Structure 1
Amino acid sequence: PKQVNSAPVTKAPDRPAPQPHPKDQDSLVQRAEHIPAGTRTPMCGHCNQVIRGPFLVAMGKSWHPEEFNCAHCHCSMADLGFVEERGSVYCENCYEQYLAPTCCRCQQKVLGEVINALKQTWHVHCFLCTSCQQPIRNNTFHLEDGLAYCERDYYALFGTSCHGCDFPIEAGDKFLEALGFTWHDTCFVCSVSIKTSVTKTYRSHDYSLLAC
């Protein structure tokens, strides 16, 4: 349905300055598991040789402790957190410095779940509705003048409601305009026969009564 741009619109509050946020709860950082010697003799994921002593388990493979290293700085990650990226492993510092995307709102690196919207990258907790300033967590949002709104606030501010049922007329809904109002096609019915009047000639006795 067409957007009713002439409807009264509540001015959205100015966005507050980005606040410090906690470390990503959905962090991509993992840690290798230490396995003592004698449990089994697996093959190393790096050199493809049998491991006869203690080893590490990470990314579904086994590793010599001295060969589980960052792909960029080559530091040992036996006791450090690591991030897997395109089949390679990186220490946290290298991943954050060279690979992690930057959130366009807070300008900090994203080390967890990423939202790609409006041709930019965001932390989940930084992609906010312009009106209520709450995170848009379900990835369903609408644009108005280039600004993102959660579904609830978008329809409250800009949406068109059906005069028959008071529910919003959403994208893809069939609707019509009559008697100065907008209706779902299934809500525009004859008050006498309770049949749809969409394709018929109708008479209006008042704004609440339709007769086919």
Structure 2
Amino acid sequence: MDPSPGAAMKTEPGLAPRTPAATPGPASRPPWAVDPSFAERYAPDKTSTVVSKHSQPATPTPMQNRSSIVQAAQQAPEGPGRTPLCYKCNKVIRGRYLVALGHYYHPEEFTCCQCRKVLDEGGFFEEKGSIFCPKCYDTRYAPSCAKCKKKITGEVMHALKMTWHVQCFTCAACKTPIRNRAFYMEEGQPYCERDYEKMFGTKCRGCDFKIDAGDRFLEALGFSWHDTCFVCAICQTNLEGKTFYSKKDKPLCKSHAFSHV
């Protein structure tokens, strides 16, 4: 009978050999192994039934700034020979006028389509052919923050298929904004790389060194191992993806299954 997840496997002489358990579930396992939603998006490559490859940490998409899409109407003084047509009323403009989106306007007719505020100062937004003042644009089009639920009117973070204020998308441990840095998920919470390794990092049973993101590893005997560290305790033959025996939580190849360790 196969050992339960997380328990060490002990095989006595004469018993059938075992293979490494593919999916043990200790709480300290990396998020891509225990969080289905994370694994779905960042699924690691599999090279055999027992060996996995750590997914690289997630990275937010580049931040966007609202100011990058705001526009400003240019004011042009009246002068001889200048008689453009107003784009809105189609009448000749005599005197001062505005230039916006490649068209000419009477200053009093270049207005927000919602509140009718004159937009000769303060900037405007264009969306699907309509002109908005900043306030009306934010009310209608600005995304909401996944954490505080308020409208985002400055820099916008995109992570986990949601939008966030920069100051709201933070490491669950140190509370530092993650911004454009890589992060890890654990129990639905984002962690910066430093705090994740400190709190949830996994050590290799064979060498006692940390298993880093990007390292190939396997789970066997209730422990995690670098793929190169899972070897016979007697002859050092690599047992990756192979049948093995176990004594005192040490893996043994078939040739040394009955040896003393």
TM-score relative to the length of structure 1: 0.60
Residue number in structure 2 paired with 1:78: 120
Q: Which has the higher contact order (CA 8 A, sep 6+)?
A: 2
**Bigger Rg over Cα:** 2
Q: Residue 113 of structure 1: which of 150, 155, 174 is its match?
A: 155
> What is the distance in 1 between the residues matched to 2:136 and 2:119?
12
Deviations 1:19-66 (A, max 9, x none): xxxxxx9343443233445698877665678878654344x5233143
Q: Residue 74 of structure 2: which of 33, 38, 59 is its match?
A: 33
Deviations 1:57-90 (A, max 9, x none): 44x5233143422121122101122233344221
Question: Unpaired runs of 5+ in structure 2?
Answer: 1-22, 30-63, 256-261
Give the direction of change, closer, same or farther, for the CA distance of 1:199–1:54 in structure 2 (3 Å limit): same
Q: Residue 103 of structure 1: which of 126, 142, 145 is its match?
A: 145
Deviations 1:94-148 (A, max 9, x none): 2233433343544543112333556754211211111110112127443333323
SS at match of 1:81: coil
Residue number in structure 1 paired with 2:12: none
Residue number in structure 1 paired with 2:178: 136
> What is the distance in 1 between the residues matched to 2:110 and 2:213?
56
Aligned length: 192
Question: Unpaired runs of 5+ in structure 1?
Answer: 8-24
> What is the distance in 1 between the residues matched to 2:232 and 2:78?
82
Give the direction of change, closer, same or farther, for the CA distance of 1:138–1:77 in structure 2 (3 Å limit): same
Q: Does 1:166 align with 2:210?
A: yes
Residue number in structure 2 paired with 1:14: none
Q: Does 1:61 align with 2:102?
A: yes
CA contact (8 A) 1:34 1:57 kept: yes
Structure 1 vs Structure 2 CA RMSD? 4.6
Structure 1 residue 178, shift from structure 2 partner: 4.7
Residue number in structure 2 paired with 1:5: 27
